Each structure stands twice: as structure tokens, then as C-alpha cells.
Structure 1
Amino acid sequence: MREYHEVTRTRDRARLDVQVRGSGPALLLLPGQANNHHWWDRVRDDFTGEYTTVTFDYRGTGHSTSGESRFTTKLFADDALTVMDSLAINRFAVYGTSMGGRTAQWLAARAPHRVRGLVLGCTTPGGTHAVERSAEVREALAGPDAENALLDYMYTPGWRDEHPGPYFVLGDDLMSEADRRAHLFASNRHDAWDVLPDIDCPTLILHGSDDLMAPVDNVALLADRIPNARSHVFDGARHAYFDECRDVADPLVSELLASK
């Protein structure tokens, strides 16, 4: 499916590289922390027959620049609106995973007239209400074998044996260390608890039961807090359920979006 790219600028003059593919109603795809639009490479074509899929490289990733603002998930949500404005897309659905799910929470809560459907994957509400990853996981991700640890937290061993890669969810290798730390800061400081009840569009919460990056207990927190939300947990899946379980996950997403 043909893809075209364009560039848009934020108020603080950051350059955002935007990718558009497919046709039909707009679906914005938001990737995880310290990742660019390639996070969605294995999943995107499942939607481009039905939707115009839109991605963009977060500040500091891909071909986007950092700008002058401190990174927050609120800022990333503002950037997402800037992107959709640049494409003259008023109403759209959003599918955000991991930090993209955090960003999507702000987007749906602060611009309810723009978001017609919301999918939150492998994410948390943030703040003191969230169930955070363990100290052991944090230490492994900061340790000398961090890449292998991250891969193990993303996918089950059996799936990796059948799908040897390449993998697109392990971070943008071209990011600066400063931007990588800024992404971590934005994700860690996320707290949308107070605005979750303001989300009024149909919402689907997806998660892997064995996710150690964002523990599955966060599903109930989000589902209880967001009106008109339902959830599905993939038995045995880890953080990258959206890739490993795409044959089940993507039809669930399409079903939700078709219902609106």
C-alpha cells in the first residue's frame, strides 16, 4: 500500500515527520516510548484496507526534531492534534500502545469532539493509582543486557522462535541520549487519572496477561475509570501483544471502530 510523508511544525518549531497510508476514516496510531512510526510496521497493513492510517515520529525520534519544550505526554497529545490539523482531519479514531496509550488518554480527554473511538493498549493511567513495573524489571532494563531483557518482556519465547525478527519495538537506535531520557521522563510522569472520566467515546482496553512492563492490573483501573469502556486480555501475551496477537487484536479494534 502506497505511503506518503509530509512535515508539519509545532508552535515551538519542532519538525514532525508524518506518514499516511490507506483510505477511509482516519485512524491515528501512537507508538511506545522512545520509538518512531516503525513500531507499527507489522500491524499497520491490517488496517489500511479500511482506514487512512496516520503515524508520526515523536519528537526526538525518526526524522522529527526535539523542539524547545520539555517532553510530556500532554505535549505529545498536542503534537498529535497538530498533525491531524495539518492533514485537515477533524474526526479520527486513536489506537495508542504503551506510552502511546498514555498520550491517547490526554488526546481523548482534552479533545473529545475530535476522537470518535479509542483503543488503549498495554498502558496505565499513571500517577499514584497505576500499578507500576517492579524494581527487578527496572533494573533489568537499565542493566548491561537491557536489549535482551526488553525483547523478553515484549514477546513470548515461543513466538520469537517462530518470528526471528527484525523487531520494530525495541527503541529508535538513532535517538540521542538526551531525547531518550526525555521520553522516559515523559512516560514516568504521566498521570491522567483525574481526566479519564472525561473520555466519552467508545473505548477498548487491550493487554497481555503476562505483561511485566505495564502490569495487567492496570486494565481494571482504566476500565472502571473510563465511561463506556470494555477490555480484552490476551492470555499469556506480554507487552507487545499488539504484534504477537494481531490476528485477534486487530479485528477487535476494527469491531470497536465500526460500532461508532
Structure 2
Amino acid sequence: MTLAYDVTGDGPALVLLHSSVCDRRMWQPFEAPGFTQVRPDFRGFGESPMPTSEWNNAEDVVALVDSLGIDRFSLVAASMGGRVGLEIAARWPSRVSSLVLLCSALRGFPSTPDADEFDEQEEALLEKRDLDAAVELNVRTWLGPLATDETKALVATMQRNAFEVQIDAPEVGPRHEAFDLSAITARTLAVSGDHDFEVFANIADHVAEQVPGTQRVSLDWAGHLPSLESPERLNPLVQDFLRA
């Protein structure tokens, strides 16, 4: 299966992996001059349809870059995309030169009460098929105080699309592969936002402990989606790390 994707720019390859609240449109405000940017939609998000059989997101992304003739690349990955980025960097360490994690998730990592409460609220709304309320809950939860009305509208559009694509899809789950964070050799930057759920700061701390040389940054202005909330603050941080 081919993922929907965009390619822009010129230079070394940079793959951008989106959050589960969004799709590849979340990278519209992101700037990385001097890089060829590859922005895919995961299955069931944006313009990529839901799968009808078992799949693995990391393998999908690697297959995409293979099809584009890309051998080595950097990754900038948000939330669920961060979880996928960690898997790629651990399973194919020689292929990933730099890894930027923005409020990354990590499968199997212990949750926190605030995140559990959100999950329960969202599940209850989706069970009632109240998509309007579920979208509003996600926008309110995941965007920090600097998000503009335009940004909130974009996130609402992306999240609603994901709900509509996924809610009646066949119950086919992803295939999970084991990997070891200590296998990652990419230069790594782990970012969290002070207005986000505690679990994501804990994950960033854990990555910094497990991946040698990781740079750890906490943003006092950010929620869960800093690249959307204040690109003028985040872009220079990421650009400097990628170019170092």
C-alpha cells in the first residue's frame, strides 16, 4: 500500500511524521530550508485510507522512503509520529541521521492520571458517535495557550477527518514489533511542553536516559503540538539541531 505524501524542497532528506490528532497538514507552518521534506499520512489519516489487513507504521514509512530512492534521512516526529520515529530509528539505525521528537508517545510506557481521564472521555464520546464533542475535546486538550483560532480550526478539521475515516472501519489492528531504544545511533532531540500531559515529559526523560547523547528540551510555552502552536518559536530550535 502506498501512503499519501508530499515532497518539497531540495537537499538532504527530512521525513515529517504527524500526530494522531492531525495528518500531514500539521506541517504546513514548519520550515526547514535546505532539506527535501517528505510528509506522509499514516494509514487512516488525511488521504491515506484505512488498511484492510494487519500493518506496521514504521515499515510503511521505510517502504515509502525506499520507493523515493532515499537511503539516509532525518526524522521530525510528533506524538504518535514520535512513537513511529523511535521504532524506525531503533530498527534501522544506520538509516536515520537525526531524530527530533516533539511530545513523543512510546508504546507500553506507563500512563498518568490526566492522560487516562482524557482517554476515558474520548472513548465515551466516540461510543455515542458524538464526533462534534470528541473533536472539541481533542482541540481543547492538545493545543497550548498560544494556539490561534486558525490553528484550532485546522486541528479540528484534521481530527474530524480521522474520526470519520476510522469510526466504521474494519477492526484490523497494527502489528507491533519489539525494538530497543539503546540501538538508536541518531543524534536525538527530545522535546516536551509544560502545558502537555505529564506522561509525555516522562517519555522524553526516558528517551534521554536510554539514547546516548540525547538533548532534552522542555518548552514552557507549549502544549502537545508546539509546531502548530508557535512555529516561530519552534522552527529555529529544530533547524539549529538539524544543521548542527
The 8 Å contact of residues 147 and 230 in structure 2, kept in 1 or not, is answered as: no
The aligned residue for residue 176 of structure 1 is 166
Q: CA deviation at 1:15?
A: 3.0
The aligned residue for residue 211 of structure 1 is 196
- Greater relative contact order (Cα 8 A, min sep 6): structure 1 or 2? 2
The 8 Å contact of residues 189 and 216 in structure 2, kept in 1 or not, is answered as: yes
Q: Deviations over 1:5-36 (max 9, x none)?
A: xxxxxxxxx23222101111110000012643
Letter in 1 for 2:196: D
Matched, 1:16 2:16: no
Structure 1 window deviating more from structure 2 (56-65 vs 221-230): it is 56-65
Aligned-partner SS, 2:147: helix
Choose which of 117, 132, 135 in structure 1 pairs with 2:98.
117
The aligned residue for residue 10 of structure 1 is none
- Stretches of 4+ aligned residues off by more than 6 angstroms: 189-192
Q: CA deviation at 1:64?
A: 2.4
Runs of at least 5 residues in structure 2 that lack an aligned partner in the other structure: none
The aligned residue for residue 135 of structure 1 is 116
TM-score when normalising by structure 2: 0.84
Structure 1 window deviating more from structure 2 (239-248 vs 136-145): it is 136-145
The 8 Å contact of residues 93 and 185 in structure 2, kept in 1 or not, is answered as: yes
Q: CA deviation at 1:237?
A: 1.8
What is the rounded CA distance, in whole Å, between the counterparts of 2:151 and 2:89 in structure 1? 36
The aligned residue for residue 51 of structure 1 is 35
Letter in 1 for 2:166: S
What is the rounded CA distance, in whole Å, between the counterparts of 2:111 and 2:185 in structure 1? 21
The 8 Å contact of residues 153 and 213 in structure 1, kept in 2 or not, is answered as: no
Q: CA deviation at 1:133?
A: 4.8
Runs of at least 5 residues in structure 1 that lack an aligned partner in the other structure: 1-13
Choose which of 39, 59, 63 in structure 2 pairs with 1:78.
59
Question: Alpha carbon RMSD of aligned pairs, Å?
Answer: 2.7
Aligned-partner SS, 1:216: helix
TM-score when normalising by structure 1: 0.79
The residue correspondences of 1:1-260 to structure 2 (distance < 5 A) are 14-33=1-20, 35-43=22-30, 46-47=31-32, 49-71=33-55, 75-129=56-110, 131=112, 133-142=114-123, 143=125, 144=130, 145-157=133-145, 159-160=147-148, 163=150, 165-168=152-155, 170-171=158-159, 173=161, 174-179=164-169, 195-212=180-197, 214-259=199-244
Q: CA deviation at 1:236?
A: 3.8
